[in-house]
Structure 1
Amino acid sequence: MFKKYPLFPQELSFKRKSWPWITPLLALLIIGFGQAIAFVPVIETGLIPKERLESYPEILYMLFAGFGAMVLLLTLWVKLFEGRSMAGMGLSLKDKPVGEVLKGLFFGVFMSGSIVGLVYILGGYELEIDSRIGFEGIVIVTLLLSGFMIQSSTEELIFRGWLFGRLSEQYGLVVGIAVNAALFILLHLPGVDFASITAFDTGIYFIGMFLFSLYPSLMVINDGSVWRAGAWHAGWNWFFITGFGLATTGIDLGTVPIVADLQAVEGQPRWLTGGEYGPEASAMMMLVLATASAFEWRKYKDKKSVLAAVEEGA
């Protein structure tokens, strides 16, 4: 019924198979326990108040320790239970990782900048403060880039590397894409006040979040690794905040931006600006990601055509 599709065929020897039907629950447990290990001690001892976890500089702890704990738990599961190497979740060193990371970062920055540019051209954003970034600001944005690399790469490892990989091995690409997207959207729902937004804006949000999961999934299919997807995700998150002072998934750090300090123009519709949730809730995000996904899909179809021709010739 389902055509199996190993995403990482270079790593198919292992001790045990993670039961595909239970992998979504395992992903939730890894995320939950990772957060508990990192956050409970510092919150309970008062070192970091809970409400400060998404403020600078405390957010650096969340990005490094919180997501670092998750990737540690995932690695232990893959190495000790499954008996696979890191290539088993898309981190093969044979895939020219430096080039893929740089490529991913470039397109993450380029695409997030394109979204902001489109909203600005359509009158959704205006200059808030004419500020200039200094040495301290450069240090801050560099630290944040490092932190977002850990955070975004961890999310891509869990959702597009491990979860997508295990489901596709057993049930094929459609099931793998659908389940990893559904879980990814579910975990990003808290913090969004759907009662305060229209059904139209809600629809844009869900379509946008699905495309946000689909696009890196297509990258992983085409690359056979998560290097580019993880770096793309990091460049995307990082540049909204540090490039323009805009919120990313509702996080607004208030740091001095690199390009320009922008804010939503009062009275402009939420579908254009994304409101307090930031550009990721904007229809412009949906447009940019749909276009990028179409390119990746075309790349996948071309690749299939070439492989089919080679097999037929053989």
Structure 2
Amino acid sequence: MQQTIPALPRLTLRARFTRHPLVRIVAGIACVLLPLVLTMALAQNLVPKEWRLAWPYLLAAALCLAGYRFFVRRFEQRAASESALQGAAPDLLRGLGIGAVVSVIVAGALGAVGAFSITGSTSILAAFKPLPEQVMVAIMEELLFRAVLFRLTEERWGTRTALVVNVLLFALAHLPNEHVTALAVLNTGVAGLGFCAAWMLTRRLWLPVGMHFAWNYLFDGVFGVPVSGHAARGWLQVQMSGPEWLAGGAYGVEASVVTLLVWCAAAAWALRRATWRA
């Protein structure tokens, strides 16, 4: 006896539109960025400066997460398990450890060639000032570039294409930064490759967030050197010496060839252990 298989219902035009990967990428970016922009704009314009020392950054980070989860529920009809806080601690701690090791290796190598020397320190309280902002930056950028852009590009076009697109866009996003150089852009792309590899290892947000935060915070809040062209403001007083290609110049260590070599090694190590998709 022949069994008749019912035809699958045709998707509506709206359903086909909202399921298109490019539409989902744009919607995901908007859901992450809009809460950030609104929170920071309202805090800056409505709250006196002395009352907005840390909480706007932490609130913005929380709302970026909420916006991403809303996007996943609305456009993908599922829970955003990749951003869940349950079980996040082990991944986050591993990420913090990896990011710290990479940072210390870069600082140590620069110190060994005389390009990085600690000359003094300020109040230990200076180390806490950049912390909320760097939490927000790590969460927001990893949501945008890994949870939205990389994940959805990989889902539609495969891992290799997703890596190329992500590295290029992550590097280009830092072009407007002050004092940027060609080497800085290259280094940013390679670091983005490392963060993509961290995502591929767990398929969750928190390992790359931990790596990203540790890198930015240690150089900004502890070592007190410029990060991505932003002025130094941390605890230790560090003197950078030598040519720009070695010490990084005004952009910071992210424009150093030492950073390029260390991040290349870290990214290659992670990519060899990650799960690739066709």
Q: TM-score, normalised by structure 2?
A: 0.81
Letter matched to residue 239 of structure 2: Q
Q: What aligned pairs does 1:227-238 form with structure 2 within 5 A after superposition?
A: 227-238=206-217
Change (3 A) 1:61 1:275: farther
Q: What aligned pairs does 1:8-27 form with structure 2 within 5 A after superposition?
A: 18-26=19-27
1:102 aligns to what? 93
Would the aligned equivalents of 2:122 and 2:235 in 1 still touch at CA under 8 Å?
yes
Letter matched to residue 118 of structure 2: L
SS in structure 1 of the partner of residue 225 of structure 2: coil
Identity of aligned residues (%): 22
Would the aligned equivalents of 1:18 and 1:166 in 2 still touch at CA under 8 Å?
no
2:116 aligns to what? 125
1:263 aligns to what? 239
Give me the CA root mean square deviation: 2.9
1:159 aligns to what? 145
Q: CA deviation at 1:18?
A: 4.3
Q: CA deviation at 1:211?
A: 0.7
Would the aligned equivalents of 2:179 and 2:229 in 1 still touch at CA under 8 Å?
no
Q: Which moved more, 1:219-228 or 1:275-284?
A: 219-228
Q: TM-score, normalised by structure 1?
A: 0.72
SS in structure 2 of the partner of residue 85 of structure 1: coil
Determine if the alignment matches structure 1 residue 81 to structure 2 residue 75. Answer: yes
Which of 69, 72, 95 is residue 66 of structure 2 equivalent to?
A: 72
Letter matched to residue 204 of structure 2: S
| 1:85-126 CA distance string (max 9 Å, x none) | 121xx23567x4222211111111111121112112212123
Distance across 1 between alignment mates of 2:51 and 2:261: 33
Would the aligned equivalents of 2:54 and 2:133 in 1 still touch at CA under 8 Å?
yes
1:29 aligns to what? 30
Distance across 1 between alignment mates of 2:244 and 2:267: 24
Distance across 1 between alignment mates of 2:72 and 2:170: 20
Change (3 A) 1:146 1:22: same
Distance across 1 between alignment mates of 2:157 and 2:42: 39
SS in structure 1 of the partner of residue 184 of structure 2: helix
Would the aligned equivalents of 2:31 and 2:70 in 1 still touch at CA under 8 Å?
no
Q: CA deviation at 1:221?
A: 1.2
Letter matched to residue 263 of structure 1: Q
Distance across 2 between alignment mates of 1:47 and 1:294: 46
**Structure ranking higher on relative contact order (CA contacts 8 Å, 6+ apart):** 1
2:104 aligns to what? 113
Runs of 5+ consecutive residues of structure 1 not aligned to the other structure: 1-14, 49-55, 195-200, 305-314
Which of 167, 188, 194 is residue 181 of structure 1 equivalent to?
A: 167
Change (3 A) 1:118 1:21: same
Q: Which moved more, 1:277-286 or 1:146-155?
A: 146-155
| 1:241-281 CA distance string (max 9 Å, x none) | 12211111122352323xxx20222xx21111111111111
